Amino acid sequence: MKNIRKYAMSAALGAAALAPVAVHAQTATPSTYVNAPIANPVAVAQPKGHCGIFQTCASTKIGLGRGDFMIRLSAVGVLPEDRDSKVWVGGQALAGTRVKTTNQVMPELTFEYFVTDNISLDLIATSTRHEVSAEGGALGSPSKLDVGSAWVLPPTITVAWHFRPHKRLNPYVGVGGTFMWFHNMNPNGPTIQRLNSGFTGGPSINAGVDYQLVGNWFFNFDVKQMFVRMHAWANEDGNNPATRIKAHDSLDPTVVSAGIAYRF
């Protein structure tokens, strides 16, 4: 029994001695700190804003370059030069008589694709109506013979070199080919009973500039010089050879256009 009490007393004294040490261990401030990296806060994804069709946004491509496709609507003025004309009546040349063709303004549609940053291909589509007359020479002056009117369809394919790709202002020069169909030809009787003209074509050169207005909208100004010769016949089906008329005319029109294009 004495031994049991002795052991119990020893255990109690040992627990009392260790208690302050345990309390100190729980409340003591550590003397050494460990520096751990602090993670940056994760940005909350924001919804992307809508870029309107008439806005220039951060995502808007500046200027024109490879892969761009544009459709352009322009006002075009067709100004025939009538450089060199010859007229025959009944097989006889009328010295000094020449063909005159009126100027015309019409809308024009152009499709353009950029093969590279500098090279593009474009096709113009329009049709213009012109009054045709003969004057001078045997007709006297200021006498004029109203031959009639004709519509002209001159699709033109052009290869252009652009000097400043991916810039707002981008001038260019080009070369191409023009093809001309004459349709809806109306003679001005009674002298001219029937009017016909053959298909023709020729080379063309041009120069112009594109300017980016806002977003994918561009302003364009273009001047083309076409080199085309027309061959026409009147009263060819008549029974009297003396009334048959033939004319050759170097139309060589200058074509000036200004319009608005949209890039897709």
Q: ∠255-256-260 over CA atoms, to 5°? A: 125
| Mean pLDDT along residues 210-238 | 91
| Phi, psi values for residue 22, rounded to 5° | -65, -40
pLDDT tens for residues 3-39?
A: 555 555 555 555 444 445 444 444 445 555 555 556 5
Between 253 and 45, name the one with better pLDDT: 253
- When comparing pLDDT for 58 and 116, which is higher? 116
List Cα–Cα distances, 13 to 4, 8, 16, 19, in angstroms.
14, 9, 5, 10
| Stated pTM of the model | 0.73
Question: Using 50, 70 and 90 to split pLDDT, how confident is the model at 219?
Answer: very high
Q: What angle do CA 238, 234, 187 make, to 5 degrees?
A: 105
Question: Between 177 and 39, where is the model more confident?
Answer: 177
Q: What CATH number has the domain spanning 69-263?
A: 2.40.160.20
Output the six-digit token pair for 40: 């940056």
Q: Are 110 and 124 in contact (CB under 8 A)?
A: yes
181-184: Cβ within 8 A, 24+ apart = 181/152, 181/153, 181/154, 182/150, 182/151, 182/152, 182/153, 182/230, 182/232, 183/127, 183/150, 183/151, 183/152, 183/153, 184/129, 184/150, 184/151
247 forms beta bridges with 87, 232
Please report the pLDDT score of residue 176 as a whole number.
97
* CA quadruple 27, 33, 34, 35: dihedral sign: positive
Interval 104-157: pLDDT, tens = 999 999 999 999 999 999 999 999 999 998 888 776 555 778 888 999 999 999
Per the rule left: phi > 0, alpha: psi between -120 and 50, beta: everything else, 216 is: alpha
72 class by beta-carbon count within 10 Å (0-12 exposed, 13-18 middle, 19+ buried):
buried
State the Cα–Cα distance between residues 55 and 239, nearest whole angstrom: 67
Amino acid at 14: G
Element housing 85 (H / E): strand 85-89
The pLDDT, as a whole number, for residue 135 is 85
Q: Could you tell me the residue ranges of all domains in the chain?
A: 69-263
Percentage of the chain surpassing pLDDT 70? 78
